[in-house]
């Protein structure tokens, strides 16, 4: 590592509180170069490494202290730090190969970081336990795995041990935690995703560490946590993360004796019972997370005593309270409104009832409020308009009634996410109201907005998601609106805004008029366009196909006429099987996740259901005429195609079998003629087919799909010139024979592979957009649940990444 960087690292070290040997300027001769023994140890270590991108090209010459990743003590010139972290984990810059024991030549090593590399799942070498001076060891995401060697317990000077595995296919295991008790200087222990499944003594081992401040044990397969502990030693413990395990049955009460605890995360476990009011003992607690413990029940404790210690009480310390996805019921307790420092309050997806008092407006630090998916009723107090720090407000799916006006949103200058859907709310704003915020995500389905188009949207320039189905608008889509969402308005030909909108759902209103011809040129980021059930008319503009990212196009149930543009074969995103972009996933979740949550078994079936939702073109129930353009058969990534209920004529294109991913095809209720292409028998993904009520003729092709899955005559009914099995009209001159050609269910391996690719795609998607949008936090939970029911590892993976961005 170059000198300048060494300073930087040292700065980091001192920030971490690691004190390197002090420099003593009066210490006489400074050695000029590094120790030759250490130099050759490094060179030999390098020989074992696989370094495809030549990251270690600087490892030559005499002074090894200047080598990339190496730092020496100023005074003794001994190598005290080796930092081979790969800071570009998604690149090919990983080191791999063998970890040679020659490394032991670095006797004075205090800092070793091999994180984010790929050592191919090999075990942590036993010799790692022999670096007596080691204070910092980071093997997070290094691609090491297997049972952790007990020798690590010899590292009595170690202060930081990071074995987190966020992405992990290789996983660390602990067979007996006793060795951990040897880490007597340990301050931070990070072991996310380290398997502790059969380890009973982990708590005892940790309880003897006098300086331990942070313990991260999320997703460690922990099932049991001792309910009683003779003596609670954790005098320095400030952070305890046990999330994503399977801990049951109840919250152990000794936790409430750790009076210095600031951060407690027990989310995503199997905890049962009530929330004990003993929480009031944790006088320093600022972050409490019990979310996604579906068996937690009863009411939120009604009262909390104001126990204070050094002027600190839970009422003044709590900043983040997450109790979503539990079985909590009852009304909101009064003490909630006394949590003056509260920044995030998530009570979503419970069975909380009653109303929200005006006292909510006292919590002026609130940045995030999630009351969604409860049974809260009454009107929304205007006091919410005083929460000037608010960024997220989710009141979705409750029983709120009444009107919301400017006053409700008056000071919310920072608001980015507003969800009011599925209540009985009417939004009534003055004609010229200028909102104080710029929203990125607006969910207003089933609110009363109409009959006129809401004008205040006109100045919302950062919209990414707009969801306002069924809002009672009976109006032409104003030109300014199309312009707003497509960038022409300023938003002149300025590219500033036009690339942003990803999801546009205006379904179930009474929009009239034509789709402007230039929309496709401007909404270049759009992934999801749903204009279903409106009164749009005129031709479909051919340039709509310039929506190069569109994966779901839903124009169902309008009055669109003319032909299907040939250019519709050019929807680029529909020509490939794309991993689902995460934002799109969120929308899909809103529509369809419920069914997934309901099912506990049969995960793969639900997964298939989701798959069929990818790359969908649905133009059904319009007045379209003409032929099915053969160009559509270029959309080889299409999973669903629905052209039913139009006036299409001509033949089903022979090339239709090129749509090899197609799971669902509906051409019913048209005027299609000619035969059913024989090649359709080879469409092996097809799981739903409807050709009924056309003028199709000739013999129904014999093929495994058509025979085994669609021996249902309803598929063909209303076509009077079709013959052969399964109809009882046999074709002249041919005697069809039934074969029972079973197709294997997708085998398990294949499904697992699908899950993995699904999850990876999800992750990449998430990483790429997280910069632009602060995601609604509690979405993460649905993903866990979905994956939890299907494939554990993916579940863990997803959770990790969400957690990373959770705050």
**Residues binding ligand NAG (CB under 6 A):** 7, 10, 20, 23, 29, 31, 34-35, 52-53, 74, 76-78, 85, 92, 115-116, 129, 138, 140-141, 150-151, 153-154, 160, 162, 173, 179, 188, 190, 195, 197-198, 207-208, 210, 229-233, 254, 257, 353, 377-378, 517-518, 543, 569, 630-631, 634, 647, 671
Q: Tokens for 22?
A: 């002090």
Name which of 105 and 454 has its Cβ closer to ligand NAG: 105
Torsion of CA 408, 409, 414, 415, to 10 degrees: 80
DSSP SS3 for 161: strand
Q: Which of 640, 680, 629 is nearest to 663 (CA)?
A: 640
CB of 735 to ligand NAG, least distance (A): 32
CB of 377 to ligand NAG, least distance (A): 4
Name which of 314 and 390 has its Cβ closer to ligand NAG: 314
Name which of 542 and 687 has its Cβ closer to ligand NAG: 542
CB of 126 to ligand NAG, least distance (A): 8
Is the CB of residue 372 less than 8 Å from the CB of residue 779? no
Q: Tokens for 481?
A: 């609106």
Name which of 383 and 704 has its Cβ closer to ligand NAG: 383
Name which of 85 and 579 has its Cβ closer to ligand NAG: 85
Half-sphere exposure of 75 (CA within 13 A, CB side): 10
CB of 511 to ligand NAG, least distance (A): 20
- How many angstroms separate the CA atoms of 777 and 344, rounded? 10
CB of 455 to ligand NAG, least distance (A): 27
Q: In the chain, count of helices (H) and strands (E)?
A: 14, 43
Name which of 72 and 412 has its Cβ closer to ligand NAG: 72
Name which of 265 and 368 has its Cβ closer to ligand NAG: 265
CA 308, chain centre distance (Å): 38
Name which of 162 and 368 has its Cβ closer to ligand NAG: 162
Name which of 330 and 726 has its Cβ closer to ligand NAG: 330
CB crowding 658-670: b at 16 or more within 10 Å, else e? bbebbbbbbbbbb
Give the Å distances, CA to CA, from 56 to 46, 115, 119, 260.
8, 15, 16, 44
Name which of 172 and 607 has its Cβ closer to ligand NAG: 172
CB of 691 to ligand NAG, least distance (A): 14
CB of 416 to ligand NAG, least distance (A): 27
- How many angstroms separate the CA atoms of 228 and 250, rounded? 11
Name which of 208 and 760 has its Cβ closer to ligand NAG: 208
Q: Which of 424, 416, 415 is nearest to 389 (CA)?
A: 415
Q: Tokens for 108?
A: 């004075």
CB of 233 to ligand NAG, least distance (A): 4
CB of 608 to ligand NAG, least distance (A): 28
Name which of 50 and 459 has its Cβ closer to ligand NAG: 50
CB of 391 to ligand NAG, least distance (A): 25
- How many angstroms separate the CA atoms of 511 and 150, rounded? 69
Name which of 512 and 543 has its Cβ closer to ligand NAG: 543
- How many angstroms separate the CA atoms of 225 and 250, rounded? 9
Q: At what angle do helices 748-769 and 792-805 cross, to 10 degrees?
A: 0
Partners of residue 552 on adjacent β-strands: 528, 616
Give the Å distances, CA to CA, from 655 to 545, 660, 682.
20, 10, 11
Please give the residue whose beta carbon sits closest to ligand NAG in the complex.
Answer: 35
Name which of 234 and 786 has its Cβ closer to ligand NAG: 234
Name the strand (E) or helix (H) holding 400: strand 399-404
- How many angstroms separate the CA atoms of 389 and 436, rounded? 12
CB of 222 to ligand NAG, least distance (A): 11
DSSP SS3 for 796: helix
- How many angstroms separate the CA atoms of 531 and 622, rounded? 12
Q: Exposed, middle or buried, 11 (CB in 10 Å: 0-12/13-18/19+)?
A: exposed
Count CB atoms within 10 A of the CB of residue 311: 7
Tell me how far apart the 2 most distant CA atoms of the chain are, in Å. Answer: 109
CB of 634 to ligand NAG, least distance (A): 4
- How many angstroms separate the CA atoms of 11 and 71, rounded? 12
Name the strand (E) or helix (H) holding 518: none
DSSP SS3 for 123: strand
- How many angstroms separate the CA atoms of 661 and 663, rounded? 6
CB of 173 to ligand NAG, least distance (A): 5
CB of 676 to ligand NAG, least distance (A): 18
């Amino acid at each position: 590592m170059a000198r300048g960087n060494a300073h930087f690292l040292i700065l980091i070290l001192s920030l971490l509180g690691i004190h390197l040997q002090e420099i003593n300027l009066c210490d006489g001769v400074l050695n000029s170069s590094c120790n030759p023994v250490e130099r050759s140890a490094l060179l030999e270590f390098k020989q074992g490494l696989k370094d495809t991108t030549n990251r270690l090209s600087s490892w030559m010459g005499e002074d090894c202290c200047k080598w990339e990743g190496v730092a020496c003590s100023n005074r003794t010139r001994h190598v005290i730090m080796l930092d081979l972290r790969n800071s570009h984990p998604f690149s090919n810059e990983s080191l791999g190969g063998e970890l040679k024991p020659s490394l032991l030549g670095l006797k004075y090593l205090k800092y070793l970081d091999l994180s984010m590399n790929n050592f191919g799942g090999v075990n942590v070498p036993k010799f790692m336990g022999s670096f007596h001076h080691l204070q910092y060891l980071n093997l997070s995401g290094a691609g090491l795995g297997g049972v952790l060697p007990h020798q690590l317990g010899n590292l009595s000077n170690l202060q930081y041990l990071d074995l987190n595995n966020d992405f992990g296919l290789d996983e660390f295991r602990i067979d007996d935690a006793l060795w951990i008790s040897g880490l007597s200087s340990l301050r931070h222990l990070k072991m996310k995703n380290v398997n502790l499944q059969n380890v009973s003594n982990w708590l005892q081992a940790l309880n003897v560490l006098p300086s331990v401040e942070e313990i991260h044990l999320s997703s460690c397969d922990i099932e049991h946590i001792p309910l009683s502990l003779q003596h609670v030693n954790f005098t320095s413990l400030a952070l305890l993360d046990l999330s994503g395990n399977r801990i049951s049955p109840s919250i152990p009460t000794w936790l409430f004796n750790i009076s210095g605890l600031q951060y407690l995360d027990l989310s995503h476990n199997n905890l049962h019972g009530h929330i004990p009011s003993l929480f009031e003992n944790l006088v320093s607690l600022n972050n409490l997370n019990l979310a996604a413990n579906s068996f937690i029940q009863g009411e939120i404790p009604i009262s909390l005593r104001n126990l204070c210690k050094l002027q600190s009480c839970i009422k003044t310390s709590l900043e983040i309270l997450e109790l979503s996805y539990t079985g909590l019921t009852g009304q909101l307790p009064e003490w909630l409104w006394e949590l003056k420092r509260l920044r995030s309050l998530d009570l979503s997806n419970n069975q909380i009832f009653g109303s929200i008092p005006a006292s909510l407006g006292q919590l002026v630090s609130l940045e995030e409020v999630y009351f969604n998916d409860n049974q809260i009723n009454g009107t929304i107090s205007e006091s919410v308009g005083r929460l000037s720090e608010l960024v997220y407000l989710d009141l979705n799916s409750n029983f709120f009634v009444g009107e919301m006006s400017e006053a409700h949103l008056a000071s919310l200058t920072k608001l980015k996410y507003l969800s009011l859907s599925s209540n009985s709310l009417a939004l009534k704003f003055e004609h010229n109201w200028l909102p104080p915020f710029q929203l990125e995500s607006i969910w207003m389905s089933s609110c009363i907005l109409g009959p006129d188009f809401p004008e205040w949207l006109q100045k919302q320039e950062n919209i990414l998601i707009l969801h306002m189905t069924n809002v009672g608008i009976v109006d032409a889509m104003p030109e300014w609106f199309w312009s707003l969402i497509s960038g022409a308005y300023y938003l002149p030909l300025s590219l500033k805004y036009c690339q942003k909108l990803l999801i546009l759902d205006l379904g179930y209103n009474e929009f009239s008029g034509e789709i402007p011809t230039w929309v496709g040129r401007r909404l270049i980021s759009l992934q999801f366009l749903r204009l279903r059930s409106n009164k749009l008319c005129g031709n479909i503009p051919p340039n709509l196909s310039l929506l190069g990212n569109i994966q779901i196009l839903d124009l169902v149930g309008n009055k669109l006429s003319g032909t299907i543009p040939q250019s519709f074969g050019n929807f680029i995103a529909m020509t490939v099987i794309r991993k689902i972009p995460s934002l799109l996933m969120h929308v899909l979740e809103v529509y369809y996740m419920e069914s997934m949550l309901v099912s506990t078994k049969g995960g793969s079936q639900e997964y298939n259901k989701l798959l069929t939702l990818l790359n969908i073109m649905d133009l059904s129930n319009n007045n379209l005429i003409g032929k099915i353009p053969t160009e559509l058969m270029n959309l080889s990534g299409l999973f669903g195609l629905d052209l039913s209920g139009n006036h299409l004529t001509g033949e089903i294109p022979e090339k239709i079998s090129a749509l090899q991913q197609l799971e669902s095809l509906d051409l019913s209720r048209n005027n299609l003629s000619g035969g059913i292409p024989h090649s359709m028998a080879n469409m092996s993904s097809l799981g739903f087919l409807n050709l009924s009520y056309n003028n199709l003729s000739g013999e129904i092709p014999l093929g495994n799909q058509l025979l085994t899955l669609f021996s249902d005559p309803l598929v063909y009914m209303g076509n009077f010139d079709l013959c052969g099995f399964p109809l009882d009209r046999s074709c002249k001159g041919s005697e069809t024979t039934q074969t029972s050609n079973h197709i294997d269910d997708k085998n398990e391996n294949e499904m697992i592979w699908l899950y993995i690719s699904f999850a990876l795609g999800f992750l990449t998607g998430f990483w790429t957009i997280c910069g632009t949008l602060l995601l609604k936090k509690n979405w993460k939970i649905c993903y866990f649940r979905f994956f939890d029911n299907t494939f554990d590892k993916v579940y863990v993976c997803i959770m990790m990444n969400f957690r990373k961005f959770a705050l």
